[in-house]
Amino acid sequence: MNRPLLPSKHVPAVRISGTPATFHVKSFGCQMNVYDGERMAEMLGAQGMTAATGADSADLVVLNTCHIREKAAEKVYSDIGRLRREDGTRPMIAVAGCVAQAEGSEISRRAPSVDIVVGPQAYHNLPALIGKAVRGEVALDTDMPAASKFGSLPDRPKQPRPMAFLTIQEGCDKFCTYCVVPYTRGAEISRPWSAILDEAQALVDGGVREITLLGQNVNAWQGTDPAGRTQGFDGLIRALAALPDLARIRYTTSHPNDMTEGLIAAHAEVPKLMPFLHLPVQSGSDRILKAMNRNHSVESYLAILEKVRAARPDIALSGDFIVGFPGETDADFEATMALVRDVGYAMAYSFKYSARPGTPAADMADHIPATVMDARLQRLQAQLNADQIAFNSRAVGQCVPILLEREGRYPGQRIGKTPWLQSVHVTAPDYALGDMIDVDITATGPNSLAGDLKKRIAA
Ligand code: SAH
Ligand code: SF4
Ligand code: F3S
């Protein structure tokens, strides 16, 4: 169902001669985008379309995009160009995700070969938009409706892996001055208790043993249980932990200001809640945190970590950092380095500040030169990498429970995760994905561990 590539920017969209039979969804950005991509694929599958082996052979390609930094947002345009095939045809192209929300109809102006633009709160309308595109009509939907899209999506089918993502909260009301998420994802909403428990049960029924709860501020989740009691995120975790066949629960991403006493206590009391916390701090300087509108200080952040470590001494900590925020001095950056050394992260993500149109920080004074940002990022990443290697090497000699989640490269090799989110390669030909096994860790690298099978752990 390929059709000729449009030769110039100003040619109007051509009629598409039939409904696409195959699709490929490519997701960029955060895990919530990965989740959305999976739900779109499941929805297209439920419409009778089949998954293609890749973008090259698909009738419809969905680029599920990320707007968080300039590089990520610009990538979509080179990706669109790359969808052109050797015979001069191209697939039907849908741009979904946060670039779709932020740029809307501007996308089709810049890239006329785009047939569909659909925002992250409107992708349940993708089948209707495909219909419009087939008829040659403008297919754009970036509405942020009051009603949630989730009710219009098909139930979760059987999953290919024993672990799955489950979005429970969306949007953000925090308005950090550098960040586009409050604009691309809209206001903070929590999905209802029963919708989450039903989806979790469906995933578990389909073979899932580990669920990662997702939200831009996942720990801000609030809801009402069937008895009419108001519940926070920790109450939801406790209810999910009661599902018999669910072995592990994780969550990401959390904001320090929503780290409640109840959630910290859950880390001590709920064995299925894994000892891993991704708690971004962004900077180690109070002056910069204030300019970022983070609404917490270095001291209050460290106080939370101390409480979490008291509740769960083996917890692995992770974070996000931005270097080169406008006005960041050498002293501010040294404060970030000091915080990193102080905490000892098991892993972390670090980024150069990227000015985003429409955000308050983009208009601030004293933008930092690229060379300074590069040097700071290099130093920060060297420290974070060293800390990650140190954390991983402490696992050597330990016996740890691994949940097997995918096949390795060699016959009989499986890859699973420790409770602390480290990948472990192990030869375990007699065990299936979804099995939990004890593994003696024998070797370590920066990104994964190796181990010897000890025994199966009773399910
Ligand atoms: N809601 C989450 C994460 C959102 S985006 C949170 O608040 O922690 C993921 C990460 O991208 C952020 O934590 C931040 O470190 C980074 N980020 C966001 N906007 C950015 C920008 N304009 N430039 C560079 N990094 C950015
Ligand atoms: Fe962005 Fe801040 Fe919201 Fe995280 S808390 S999504 S960084 S505005
Ligand atoms: Fe990117 Fe949107 Fe996620 S901007 S990080 S895909 S919320």
- 155-240+247-272 matches 275-392 in fold: yes
Contact 174, 255 (CB under 8 A): yes
* pTM for this entry: 0.94
Which pLDDT does position 8 carry in this prediction? 35
Q: What is the CATH number of domain 155-240+247-272?
A: 3.30.750.210
- Dihedral of the alpha carbons of 233, 256, 291, 171, in degrees to the nearest 10: -20
Residue closest via CA to ligand 3's atom 7 equals: 181
Which pLDDT does position 457 carry in this prediction? 65
DSSP-derived secondary structure for 227-280: TS-EEEHHHHHHHHHTSTT--EEEEE---GGG--HHHHHHHHH-TTB-SEEE--
Ligand 2 atom nearest to CA at 216: 6
CA distance 175 to 198: 31
Q: Between 164 and 144, where is the model more confident?
A: 164
Binding-site residues, ligand 1, Cβ < 6 A:
68-69, 178-179, 181, 216-217, 253, 255, 280, 282, 320, 322, 351, 353-354, 356
Instruction: Write out pLDDT tens, residues 55-92.
Output: 999 999 999 999 999 999 999 999 999 998 888 889 99
Q: Strand pairing of 316-323 and 423-427?
A: unpaired
Establish whether the linkage from the previous residue to 253 is cis, with ω within 30° of 0. yes
Ligand 3 atom nearest to CA at 102: 4
Q: Where are the domains of the chain?
A: 14-141, 155-240+247-272, 275-392, 399-456
Across 370-396, average pLDDT: 97
The fourth-level CATH superfamily of domain 399-456 is Nucleic acid-binding proteins (2.40.50.140)
Confidence of residue 446 (pLDDT cuts 50, 70, 90): confident
Confidence of residue 138 (pLDDT cuts 50, 70, 90): confident
Nearest to 61 by CA among 28, 22, 5, 117: 22
Q: Is the CB of 32 under 6 A from ligand 3?
A: yes
Q: Which residue has the tokens 């601030």?
A: 364
Which pLDDT does position 5 carry in this prediction? 37
Q: Under CATH, what is the fold of the domain 275-392? A: Transcription Regulator spoIIAA (3.30.750)
Pick the CATH number of 14-141 from 3.40.50.12160, 2.40.70.10, 3.30.470.20, 1.10.3720.10: 3.40.50.12160
Q: Which ligand is nearest to the CA of 66?
A: 3
Q: Is the CB of 380 under 6 A from ligand 2?
A: no
